[in-house]
Structure 1
């Protein structure tokens, strides 16, 4: 009588095991996050410092709007938090990028980070003193935003100097993934802290402690002076030259325009306190963490990102996906579904952020990278703040739900039309830009 059979082979061929293991390793290698930049010690320290400090910064980014809402009970005032940070980010992002092209980028990163740390201590003190002064909070946000813009311009220009060009997409993916881990952990912790007595003080105090990791990583970076043959003193002329460089390149213009559309039209962040209060019993932490959750998951499975060469069309598709997921999340009534859809939006945003940053860092020569990063920070950090104002103002004259959904739909429409009209961007091939950058370096 023959042995009964099952769907599984009871006696697998031992010779097949190594082949199966090889295939599994190959699959993971193609799709898991590319960690090769971690072998570079300065980059590794920079990443660890950035990731640790980002957890703290997210405590502050949640605590500030929630504190303002607690004082005013107004989504419009929460939107003003974004507006307060907008002008400093634009001005100091642009001029900070020009400075980064003219001075040692390590020193600039260190001193601007120190400035942001001092402002965090000031937020901590005003909360301990129970001043409840919205004007003071907004003023501190303005100063902190300026320091953030300069530090970010310098840090973004540092990456291509300490990492080989072919590893820049992997380095950017790791940066965004680690930052998004902070954006998951930070809001969840902040959601608990702001519900406690003196919770805002706890949030600002922990941020100040964790920020020391970024200061340490900046201290350990090697000196990164400007290249001798491309140095230019920081000035408004240098800023204008960077803007002219962008204006002459439709690929760069488009990379900024699609991000502006995504953040201004489809960023629902300033609506989170009101929606959490109306629907979810004030449970705001998961809303602030959801987008970053999706970005982390996308980052951990991002091995394929560096192999995509048609980065322009990939960017358009990713931002359209962001807008669609945001619109759907605004219609959901269950907290878990809102979080899931926002996480999907976050995954699309991670992909778009990597391609936007990589296009800038590889398309522009080193002499322009500081200024390109300055514009990048002005758009990336300023766009969401304009989005906060747009969402808050629209909600004030309609409803939070309408503001949320209409923004996502508008983002999809604008990005698809723009991608269709700007054909050089749609056809952009990263291999051409990398070859040109390597030739210029030689």
Structure 2
């Protein structure tokens, strides 16, 4: 087993951080490019946003598939193959001339992008000691955040300097370097033991988790919050490129540095969990997301940025708590329970744009805020209901066992 601080530990952990950066940079590289994509291909805001949401959709759907597949074929092999697929599709994206091909390639890219997030923690669980695993997972998650910020900065700065195709070309070169480092650094699995690939086990685990009301509520809370949160960022790019702000893509991409407050929110969630029930923390996080959304109605750029900082803190406070609560309350097959949470999470990202677009078309950002608050009020109710369901579910299970 790999011990914390050993050469193998640092090789493996650095490889997974690099892979995580590469994955999430590719997921989010298009978000600051949306106004340019709409203009380049003469399409609507919703159609342009689909270049982002098609990726999160195929990524989310694919997550449940890779875990069991890696149980049969091995962890490192699948991660290497899927990261190679990401690199190739990004190169191809830099060459497209028609929007339909851009959508097809972004959808295919989402399928490949799911490989590492679905398997990375399982690889560490196989190869690392428990102490090393705890340290490595924290570093790995930091790669998620850095990738999300880095991809948006690359898209915004390169896209404005040249065009979206150039942004994809630069992202492809960075991806190729990340892929080579990942394949070279990641230690070969030594503790892995193959298991048969059974579709039936996937379906039975999904059925089991969906019969647990505590988990279902967590899935809905995480999914609907991301449904609003990530798509607000898509529409804020269209707002800020217009008068009176007239921000260019590179300055819009800097707004995604507000994600750093989300890192603080994620870390703070663990400390709060020691002093209050986790459903209450989810309620606080959702309430902060609602407050931040209202603050963005301020006409000044400073007010909008402040609102986004509050949004990120609240969202990630709730998201990290909900994710932890899923693992804590899954009776068995905890890995698939967490994967199912991420399926809801990314499907929320995929469909939120279709919900918010009519509000944007009708009345701009003010109505996007109104539409957001309607869903977030519903989520706030779910967090309150979760505390009641948790107690009732435990009592019911205890009575059946008795």
Q: 1:412 to 1:170 in 2, by over 3 A?
A: farther
Rounded Cα–Cα distance in structure 1 between residues aligned with 2:125 and 2:49: 35
1:106 lines up with 2:71 in the alignment: no
Contact 2:79 2:119 in 1 (8 A): yes
Which residue, 129, 150, 153 being the options, matches 2:115?
150
Contact 2:31 2:155 in 1 (8 A): no
Alignment of 1:148-227 (within 5 A): 148-162=113-127, 173-197=138-162, 199-211=163-175, 212-219=177-184, 220-223=186-189, 227=193
Residue 101 of structure 2 corresponds to 136
Residue 419 of structure 1 corresponds to 383
Output one character per residue of 1:255-284: Cα deviation in whole Å (capped at 9) or x when no partner.
211012212234313313421232321434
Rounded Cα–Cα distance in structure 2 between residues aligned with 1:37 and 1:297: 28
Which residue, 255, 264, 267 being the options, matches 2:218?
255
Which residue, 198, 201, 206 being the options, matches 1:243?
206
Task: Compute the displacement of 1:68 (Å).
Answer: 3.6
Task: Compute the displacement of 1:243 (Å).
Answer: 1.1
| 2:248 counterpart SS class | coil
Q: 1:410 to 1:164 in 2, by over 3 A?
A: farther
Q: 1:275 to 1:416 in 2, by over 3 A?
A: same
Which residue, 292, 295, 318 being the options, matches 2:259?
295
Residue 46 of structure 1 corresponds to 16
Q: 1:62 to 1:303 in 2, by over 3 A?
A: closer
Residue 67 of structure 1 corresponds to 37
**Count of aligned residue pairs for this structure pair:** 380
Alignment of 1:6-17 (within 5 A): none
Rounded Cα–Cα distance in structure 1 between residues aligned with 2:369 and 2:54: 25
| 2:72 counterpart SS class | coil
Task: Compute the displacement of 1:332 (Å).
Answer: 2.3
Contact 1:265 1:387 in 2 (8 A): yes
Larger Rg: 1
Root-mean-square deviation (CA, aligned residues, Å) is 3.3
Rounded Cα–Cα distance in structure 1 between residues aligned with 2:125 and 2:365: 42
Output one character per residue of 1:187-229: Cα deviation in whole Å (capped at 9) or x when no partner.
33432322233x223211221122232453255144177556x
Residue 395 of structure 2 corresponds to none
Residue 85 of structure 1 corresponds to 55
Rounded Cα–Cα distance in structure 1 between residues aligned with 2:127 and 2:353: 35
TM-score (norm 2): 0.81
| 2:95 counterpart SS class | helix
Contact 2:33 2:249 in 1 (8 A): no
Q: 1:134 to 1:143 in 2, by over 3 A?
A: same
Task: Compute the displacement of 1:354 (Å).
Answer: 2.6
